[in-house]
A and B are shown apart, each in its own frame.
Chain A
Amino acid sequence: MNNDDILIVNNLKKYYPVSKISFGKNKSYVKAVDDVSFTIKRGTTMGLVGESGCGKTTVGRTILRLHEVTDGQVIFDGKDLSEIPSRELRKMRPQIQMIFQDPYSSLSPRLPVGEIIGEAVKEHKIVPKEQYRSYILKVMRDCGLQPQYYYRYPHEFSGGQRQRISIARAVALNPKFIICDEPLSALDVSIQAQIINLMKDLQEQYGYTYLFISHDLSVVEYISDTIGVMYLGSMMEMGDKKRIFANPMHPYTKALLSAVPISNPDVKMNRIILKGDIPSPINPPSGCKFRTRCPHAMPICAEKKPVLKEYEEGHKVACHLYSQE
């Protein structure tokens, strides 16, 4: 494997059984993540976009093994996370951290900020005991939290400050890789910019790799190097950010990009409006999953599932509109 790649995900699958009254036969599954593969290079940011229910959060959680993998490989720094025993996984934990969407529910209301950030530091013995206090204060300073917040409780903070605490908690463990699951969606616009800047500063300073999960395309465009577009558990298009935004190939990506409102009253977008909603992931459409909403659907789309194929350097698309040979 290439040493540049920090994370390689191969044919990742995550199925959730749906308990329906059946006599042990024909159990149906929600295919939350269905055969997804991608790699992330060290020190870069990959953005994962898609509508709600497309499985982007599940990808993040399965990489961390917060959910067990149904099938496939997650290779982090040369080790297959999906197979190693839990004792060893525990040792790996500090290297992969997660920032959650809702800063109101992801912080314990009963612990002061210093404890929240330091709990895992103690547990994993990141620093010697004597340096513990000064280390936590340094992390807090890095994340723009004042030292007097050390003994305050989460409820005393606003959403933006809380998200800083969550980031500090992740960063304190000296991770290599951070999964950010919609870290901005609960925040106001003016605060979002602060948090984006903070995340970028930390990346420059410590060389973190991010997997940035979001539904906000303008944020993803700003922060990512590569982008993956998911729909109903499958990767539809993947590649370099510039190529995707300059030349979106998949009809879904095109629709997604055109749906973003532009803050200029004089620009009128040629909007592609998709009809209907995302189909149920329990019983997804045959062939290409997007065909029910696709404006370019052809007969072959219902028969064969398109394969993710590289059409230009670093730009992969899964669509029958382009030759699959």
Chain B
Amino acid sequence: MGLLDKLKRGKIEGVDNTTYLTLKDERRISKENNKIIKKYEKENNRKNVSEEEYLTQMMDPANVVEFDNLHTYFFTDVGTVKSVNGVSFDIPQGQIVGVVGESGCGKSVTSLSLMRLVQAPTGQIVSGSIRYQDKDGKCYDITKMPKDRMLKIRGKDIAMIFQEPMTSLNPVFKIGYQMDEVVLLHTEGATPESAKARSIEMLNLVGIAAVEKVYNSYPHELSGGMRQRVMIAMALSCNPRLIIADEPTTALDVTIQAQILELLRDIKEKINGSIMLITHDLGVIAEMVDTVVVMYAGRIIEKGTVREIFHNPKHPYTIGLMKSKPGSHNTKGDRLYSIKGQVPNPINMPNHCYFYNRCDKAMGICSQEYPGMIQFSPTHFAACHLYNEDGSDKSEEEKERR
């Protein structure tokens, strides 16, 4: 920042709450980061790791994936971004788990950590574990898995559907080639003919009418909905146990969104797999999922079954999110409820509740420590100081006292 700017800023009003880093600070941070990153990269690049090192036990054998206190940080030159900061939840076999939150809340990074696709070297899984149970009941800790071993799981047992189908398909190869590649890579003893047969079977499964034509076309020749169908077909081609759908319908129109959601629901039944559905659309969540995880600024603030979250939300953020969506419950005339302010800066997060500045019900304790998870029912949890350990409302108690 130049001297002139400083003077100008001062002229308008004295307060300026943004902190700017000097070049010296930045250099120091980047030096420290390099040290940390090197340590993690060394760990990740080890070869010939014996299987015992990453074999573990599932907490509950009915789950496919268990996130346990996962921390994924990005070591940037302006400071450490704690994108995922202690996230724990389970994905049970045969269920759809929805992850909701605003952009930047860490929902995508959580899924990328599971795929081990976090942008290295700045992004690193710092601590915690992700336990994954494969078809034979063997259980691995994905965070400790070496890179070459991960190749056998990624795309085969855990497949991913991305938000933007245009950018996730390669524009210079035909659809057929890209689909066959997946099958050839992951199926033992696959021949080009068997791979093609499998690809065509999958394209049929996702409801594409002119299969041969689509098989022989390039991504740009297809519409957005069609491309997303191809992406789903590709994800399905190796019989995955878990499909991660990262905002699969955000880039699509409502009528096409309805088609794709219907398809995903169908597919889940057919392959008897699990789906981790990441979205910011509460409507999609209400319609599709069994359990919901609400994230805010890298942490889970509430989780529960879909009915618990929608009929009896506990955390002020979840309540605000529901109220701020225009719909049948508020008509023109009354003001729309809005959560004031914005998501805090991800660098230098406070040590108190992250939602404190935006919360209507903030109390003294909210600015002192981060709330622990409080249990309301066997499946319903929320992290908020408003409630006592046993799940009762603190404010009501206070009223009674008065």
Contact = CB atoms under 8 A, between A and B. Distances in A.
Interface of A: 51-52, 146-148, 150-151, 156, 158, 160-161, 188-194, 196-197, 200, 215, 217-219, 221-225, 241, 255-256, 258-266, 271, 273-274, 277-278
B306 A277 contact: no
A28 to B, nearest CB: 18
B271 to A, nearest CB: 21
B307 A192 contact: no
Given A161-B342, A222-B332, A266-B307, A188 B286 contact: no
B325 interface: yes
B255 A193 contact: no
B12 A151 contact: yes
Given A147-B12, A259-B258, A265-B310, A192 B335 contact: no
6 contacts: A148-B15, A189-B324, A215-B254, A261-B283, A271-B262, A274-B258
Contact of A193 (B5, B287, B307, B339): B339
Contacts of B262: 271, 273
A265 B286 contact: yes
A278 B252 CA distance: 12
B258 A271 contact: yes
Contacts of A215: 253-254
A51 B286 CA distance: 23
Contacts of B326: 193, 196, 218-219, 221-223
A188 B255 contact: no
Given A148-B16, A151-B8, A188 B256 contact: no
B287 A261 contact: yes
B48 interface: no
A196 B334 CA distance: 12
A150 B12 contact: yes
Interface string B228-263: 000000000000000000000000011111110110
A263 B325 contact: yes
Contact of A264 (B224, B225, B310, B340): B310
A223 B332 contact: yes
Nearest to B225: A277
B310 A263 contact: yes
For the complex of A and B, the 7 pairs showing the least CB-CB separation, nearest first, are: A261-B283, A222-B326, A193-B338, A193-B324, A259-B258, A188-B102, A51-B253
B327 interface: yes
Contacts of A160: 342
Given A193-B336, A277-B223, 15 more contacts: A148-B9, A190-B338, A193-B338, A194-B338, A197-B338, A200-B335, A217-B254, A222-B331, A258-B258, A263-B282, A263-B283, A263-B285, A263-B310, A265-B287, A266-B311
B310 A197 contact: no
Instruction: Tell me which of B8, B282, B283, B332 has the highest count of chain A C-beta atoms within 10 A of its own C-beta.
Output: B332
Nearest to B337: A193
B9 A156 contact: no
A249 B322 CA distance: 30
Interface string B12-33: 1101101000000000000000
A218 B327 contact: yes
Interface in B330-352: 330-332, 335-340, 342-343
Nearest to B284: A261
A275 to B, nearest CB: 8
Contacts of A271: 258, 262
B335 A51 contact: no
A291 to B, nearest CB: 16
A156 B336 contact: no
B276 to A, nearest CB: 18
B297 to A, nearest CB: 12
B255 A263 contact: no
Nearest to B257: A259
A277 B226 contact: yes
A158 B342 contact: yes
Contacts of B337: 193
A262 B282 CA distance: 8
Contacts of B339: 190, 193-194
A190 B324 CA distance: 6
Contact of A265 (B15, B306, B330): B306
Interface in B286-325: 286-287, 306-307, 310-311, 320-322, 324-325
A198 to B, nearest CB: 9
Nearest to A146: B13
Interface string B153-165: 0000000000000
Contacts of B12: 147-148, 150-151
A287 B352 CA distance: 63
A92 to B, nearest CB: 30
A215 B253 CA distance: 8
B268 interface: no
Contacts of A147: 12-13
A261 B281 contact: yes
A197 B335 CA distance: 7
Contacts of B287: 261-262, 265
B357 to A, nearest CB: 13
Contact of A277 (B13, B256, B281, B340): B256
Given A147-B13, A222-B332, A271-B258, A188 B283 contact: no
A99 B101 CA distance: 26
Nearest to A184: B326
Nearest to A50: B253
B186 interface: no
A277 B257 CA distance: 11
Instruction: Tell me which of B255, B311, B340, B343 has the highest count of chain A C-beta atoms within 10 A of its own C-beta.
Output: B255
A197 B326 CA distance: 11
Contacts of B322: 263
Interface in B92-134: 102-103
Contacts of A261: 257, 261, 281, 283-284, 286-287
A271 B258 CA distance: 8
B198 interface: no
Nearest to A255: B255
A260 B320 contact: no
B5 A260 contact: no
Interface string B172-209: 00000000000000000000000000000000000000
B19 to A, nearest CB: 12
Contacts of A264: 286, 310
A179 to B, nearest CB: 20
Instruction: Tell me which of A161, A241, A261, A271 has the highest count of chain B C-beta atoms within 10 A of its own C-beta.
Output: A261
